[in-house]
């Protein structure tokens, strides 16, 4: 299939290239007008935006806080469609110094490294819809705090300014023009079945079948966990906090290329109640929506490396919003 990618040679080159044009090359508004639809639907764990103007404003605020921001592209896993569109899943790491005051507090001059995964639905070189998760827990750690404390600080600032506490849940969304797809692939199907048994059925025994015994699991907060025991402990921390959690696989695709493992990209969500002691502390009864992304490298049917991404700051903000609503009732 011939895709219209302008001067770029293929889809990964296009995604890496327009990211560089917008951020490092400082195209900002001009490049966003070129590559982002005026009525783009952008769903980030931090909130929902339905205009190019909103995306531009957020980009400018980020660059004010981190003017030397570099976006280091790690992988692009993508799927073409028969109508000439494609969906890309772009994994990257932000490397930057916090030198401007903003939503993350007063500038401290600290170096920040944080992973992002962004799914973009692209038509005729224009991003029509986007789904994005940033590891804000890693932001917090690099700034000398933790996800809970940063979320509390951000929540208090929004309350002082009489603003809604910002995060994304499906109730904030607008109808999507993109029709979600799950690619038909044996390795991908096995991976998705493992995710279902782990995160929906709470069957942590599947970890031994799903992951290589020395698998590297890149967790929120910038942590890298190794092996079945570490992964089991991490999963139990989430499942204990949300014991009624329901997993939904939103989209999934796989790329197979010579000299590379099978590379899977999955956008997923957990919906549950903060009703147990676990990774998110004392239960509050808060309804919680976890927007998640995962990239996995699979060899001989086993996950060798997984990048498991959630925004724990935004999860904490949902918990605090529930607590505040009860206090104000």
Reported as a single tens digit per residue, the pLDDT across 220-267 is 999 999 999 999 999 999 999 999 999 999 999 999 999 999 999 999
Contact between 95 and 116 under an 8 Å Cβ cutoff? The reply is no
What the block records as the tokens of 217 is 């699991």
The pLDDT value given to residue 91: 98
Tell me, what's the pLDDT at 121?
A: 98
Which CATH number is 186-327's, of 3.30.450.20, 3.90.470.20, 3.90.550.10, 3.10.450.50? 3.10.450.50
Is the distance from CB of 243 to CB of 202 less than 8 angstroms?
Answer: yes
Contact between residue 286 and residue 274 where contact means Cβ atoms under 8 Å apart: yes
| Whether the predicted model's global pTM rises above the 0.85 cut | yes
- What's the rounded Cα separation, in Å, for the pair 283 and 151? 16
Give the pLDDT score at 328. Answer: 67
pLDDT along the chain (329 residues), means of 10: 84 95 87 93 97 91 92 96 95 96 89 97 96 96 96 95 95 95 96 98 98 98 97 98 98 96 98 98 98 98 98 98 84
Q: What is the pLDDT of residue 27?
A: 86
**The sheet that has 302-309: what strands, in order across it?**
224-226, 211-218, 302-309, 287-299, 262-273, 246-255
Which of 3.10.450.50, 3.90.25.10, 1.10.40.30, 3.40.50.10160 is the CATH number of 11-172? 3.10.450.50
For residues 27, 31, 36, 37, the Cα torsion angle rounded to the nearest 10 degrees is: 130
β-bridge mates for residue 295, sequence order: 265, 307
Helices 11-22 and 28-35 pack at an angle, to 10 degrees, of: 150
| Distances, alpha carbon 36 to alpha carbons 5, 54, 124, 251, 322, in Å | 14, 11, 11, 21, 34
Sequence-distant (6+) residues with CB within 8 A of 163 are none
| DSSP state for residue 196 in the 8-state scheme | I
Predicted confidence at residue 329, as pLDDT, reads: 52
Angle at 88 between CA 188 and CA 55, to 5 degrees: 135
Query: Where in the chain do CATH 3.10.450.50 domains reside?
Result: 11-172, 186-327
Q: Give dist(CA 121, CA 127) in Å, integer.
A: 6
DSSP-assigned beta bridge partners for residue 130: 42, 120
Q: How far is CA 42 from CA 19, 62, 166, 234, 323, in A?
A: 15, 16, 14, 29, 27
């Amino acid at each position: 299939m011939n895709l219209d990618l302008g001067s770029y040679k293929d889809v990964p080159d296009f995604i890496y290239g327009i990211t560089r044009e917008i951020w490092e090359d400082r195209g900002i508004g001009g490049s966003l007008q070129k590559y982002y639809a005026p009525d783009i639907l952008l769903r980030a764990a931090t909130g929902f935006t339905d205009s190019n103007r909103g995306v531009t404003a957020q980009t400018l605020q980020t660059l004010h806080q981190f003017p030397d921001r570099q976006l280091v592209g790690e992988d692009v896993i993508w799927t073409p469609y028969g109508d000439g569109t494609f969906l890309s899943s772009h994994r990257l790491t932000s490397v930057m110094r916090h030198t401007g005051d903003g939503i993350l507090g007063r500038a401290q001059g600290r170096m920040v490294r944080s992973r992002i995964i962004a799914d973009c639905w692209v038509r005729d070189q224009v991003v029509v819809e986007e789904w994005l998760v940033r590891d804000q827990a890693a932001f917090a750690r690099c700034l000398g705090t933790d996800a809970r404390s940063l979320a509390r600080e951000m929540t208090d600032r929004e309350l002082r300014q009489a603003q809604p506490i910002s995060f994304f849940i499906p109730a904030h969304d607008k109808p999507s023009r993109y029709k979600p797809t799950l690619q038909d692939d044996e390795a991908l199907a096995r991976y998705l079945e493992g995710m279902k048994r782990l995160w929906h059925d709470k069957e942590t025994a599947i970890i031994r079948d799903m992951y290589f015994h020395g698998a590297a699991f890149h967790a929120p907060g910038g942590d890298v966990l190794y092996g079945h025991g570490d992964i089991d402990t991490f999963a139990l921390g989430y499942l204990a906090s949300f014991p009624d959690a329901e997993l939904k696989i939103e989209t999934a695709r796989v790329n197979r290329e010579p000299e590379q493992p099978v590379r899977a990209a999955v956008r997923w969500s957990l919906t549950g109640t903060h009703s147990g002691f676990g990774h998110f502390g004392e239960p509050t009864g808060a309804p919680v929506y976890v927007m998640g992304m995962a990239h996995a490298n699979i060899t001989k049917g086993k996950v060798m490396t997984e990048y498991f991404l959630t925004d724990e700051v935004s999860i904490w903000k949902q918990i605090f919003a529930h607590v505040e609503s009860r206090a104000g009732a």
